[in-house]
Chain A
Amino acid sequence: MAVITYLEAIRSAMEEEMQRDERVFVLGEDVGKGGVLNATKGLRDRFGEQRCLDTPLSESAIAGVAIGAAMYGMRAIAEMQFADFIFPATNQIISEAAKIHYRSNGDWNCPIVVRAPYGAAGAGSLYHSQCPESVFFGTPGLKLVAPSNPYDAKGLLKAAIRDEDPVIYFEHKKCYLSISGEVPEEDFIVPIGKADVKREGTDLTVISYGMTLNYCLQAAQELDREGISAHVLDLRTLSPLDKEAILAAAARTGKVLIVHEDNKTGGVGAEVSAIIAEELLYELDAPIMRLCPPDVPAVGLSPVAEKFYLLDRDKIREAMRNLALY
């Protein structure tokens, strides 16, 4: 097994899938030169400019063209340069991609992957940092995945490309270079719809995804020295949620903290919390807690504003300790 970065995991997943299946192609803004975030580096040289296709600045066309090509039988990976720019494509994703199979009564389907580089990586400010997953969450017909480490990043992207349905692949920009890990050389997938226990524990359960999951693991390690044992569940797939895994993880400790970088109101955590509340009232030893950035439009540029807004290991450790001691 080789140790690679999250970004390399994404790139190699696309490369291997393009090699495996000639119907797979990538389209998006600046993908030819490798993409502004380097995810498609080398793909044009290897597969040609048609299969690593630079598009006009038109997010709705990027999604819409991918949808059309997919209905014909291609496997399109549509790159949104930043998830902050996905909104012009939202009608294509929600009104079209999500409903094509349903509205045609199973006649047509839409196997596209929309790659959405999201989250704050530092100094991105309002329009290069957003977490728009809650906009798409709660849209039946869409699958949403959000890996936290290179293994999941590679396995989930491969699964998404091979999937018969539209998948939005939320790749956290802060993970790109800061998270490395072991990834097998041989072909593998991580199944969509399966959460993963990243750490076993007995005192409280932390449920998260994406970059904050890594902070949760770091905080858990620190709390371990204080004698607090945290159970950490990585959702990995945001929609459809792995209810079974959520309920099992919550029941394990009876105390649940949900952590995500998307703001609190209407976020994925609200639904996770409701699932637990509906099923596990008598298993709980404390109120279900959520730790998320405040409900302001997005993160500001000033390092002071950024530090205040974003979650980090310290804030998460504090919230975990408070809940453990509840």
Chain B
Amino acid sequence: MSVGQLNRHRMLGLSDDQVLEMYRFMVQARRFDERAIILQRAGKIPFHVSGIGQEPGQVGMAFALQKGKDYLLPYYRDFAFVLAMGMTVRELMLSIFAKAEDPNSGGRQLSGHFGCKRLNMITGSSPVATQIPHAAGIALAAKMQKKDFVTWVSLGEGATNQGDFHEGCNFAGVHQLPMIICCENNQYAISVPYSRQLGKARVADRAAGYGFPGVRVDGNDALEVYRVVKEARERAARGEGPTLIELMMYRLSPHSTSDDDMLYRTREEVEENRAKDGIPKFRQYLIECGLWDDEKELRLQEEVKQLIQEATQYADKAPAPKPEDTLRHVFAQPVGEA
């Protein structure tokens, strides 16, 4: 590896501390996800939908955005993304345990349905791609109010076939909105492979239909993702409109804890892709930069294990919502109140 490559993150404007932090979030997300699957199998939580294999790209995106300023509309696999944007492992654990204290929904929504006003994170739902027009609406508000934040939204490649993807992108293109649309192309929409979702078409190419740039990037390469999203953010902030970014990834876990992926793909295929996992690759990069070693790795793994353990215990013991809380928050302004 050349000296230039060794300093890749610095050339991109990332400090040593920042890349170490990126790595920490990837590991946290991976361990969280693995724990969640075990908890579901043990009958402690009802369900989990995982983002295993997508963490490096997610962390790359998060570091390119401005925390506390930009508006975020993550989709249901973005665990590493939301961790990197400020949600805590404990909060995620409260969410999968469906506990009252869960900031995402107070125990109302399924795993991965993020939302948190404190983090400018818009509440999401299960019908896919509905968040694209919402993102356009927030970006429109930024333009109308002359604010310089950027709206970031993600979705899977299957969701790019929804009308709302088209309607939202078209709207954003027409009004040149400060918005970044990130498609995490993990090759499968539950069981249906990319070839049956888009045929020979590329998600990134769809941007041409809306008159803004589309970029395809290796989603396992956190630094490359960071570079591309940062550029898109700068374009948006300069008033040059939206960018569609397609992150090429692979979903290493089944769709959810209710899915048997061996019904539609082979173990060999999964293993082949596991070899391309971006987390060990990122660790290798840190080692080659002289920023990481076995001892640090051991310490980090121990620290994350501890964090996950504490979060699990906390969430397990945390109170459930009160039964009558079911009736709360139907309206923000109940009839009869001004």
Contacts and interface: CB of A to CB of B under 8 A. Distances in A.
Interface of A: 25, 50-51, 55-56, 58, 60-61, 63-74, 76, 88, 91-92, 95-96, 99-109, 111, 140-141, 143, 163-165, 191-193, 237, 240
A65 B136 contact: yes
B133 A92 contact: yes
Interface stretch (B7-15, B74-82, B121-129): B121-129
B123 A107 contact: yes
Contacts of B130: 64, 91-92, 95-96
Given A60-B163, A71-B138, 14 more contacts: A60-B133, A60-B167, A61-B170, A64-B134, A64-B136, A68-B133, A69-B140, A95-B125, A95-B127, A103-B125, A105-B108, A106-B329, A165-B332, A237-B335
A154 B103 CA distance: 38
B141 A69 contact: yes
A162 to B, nearest CB: 9
B116 interface: yes
B134 A67 contact: yes
Which 6 A/B pairs are nearest by Cβ-Cβ distance?
A68-B137, A64-B133, A105-B106, A193-B335, A68-B134, A61-B167
B146 to A, nearest CB: 11
A29 B99 CA distance: 43
B331 A107 contact: no
Contact of A141 (B104, B106, B170, B331): B331
Contacts of A55: 171
B261 interface: no
Contacts of B109: 103
Given A60-B163, A67-B134, A70-B137, A103 B108 contact: yes
Contacts of B122: 68, 71, 108
B68 to A, nearest CB: 15
A61 B115 contact: no
B43 interface: no
Interface residues of B, number: 48
Given A64-B130, A107-B103, A88 B115 contact: no
B332 A72 contact: no
Contacts of A76: 137
B106 to A, nearest CB: 3
B241 to A, nearest CB: 15
Given A71-B138, A95-B130, A105-B105, A64 B168 contact: yes
B115 A108 contact: yes
Contacts of B142: 72
A64 B104 CA distance: 21
A91 B141 CA distance: 22
Given A64-B167, A108-B122, A69 B138 contact: yes
Residue of B116, B122, B134 contacting most chain A CB atoms (<10 Å)? B134
Given A105-B329, A107-B123, A109-B332, A61 B138 contact: no
B25 interface: no
A64 B125 CA distance: 13
A211 B125 CA distance: 37
Contacts of A67: 133-134, 137
B133 A65 contact: yes
Contacts of A70: 137
A104 B105 contact: yes
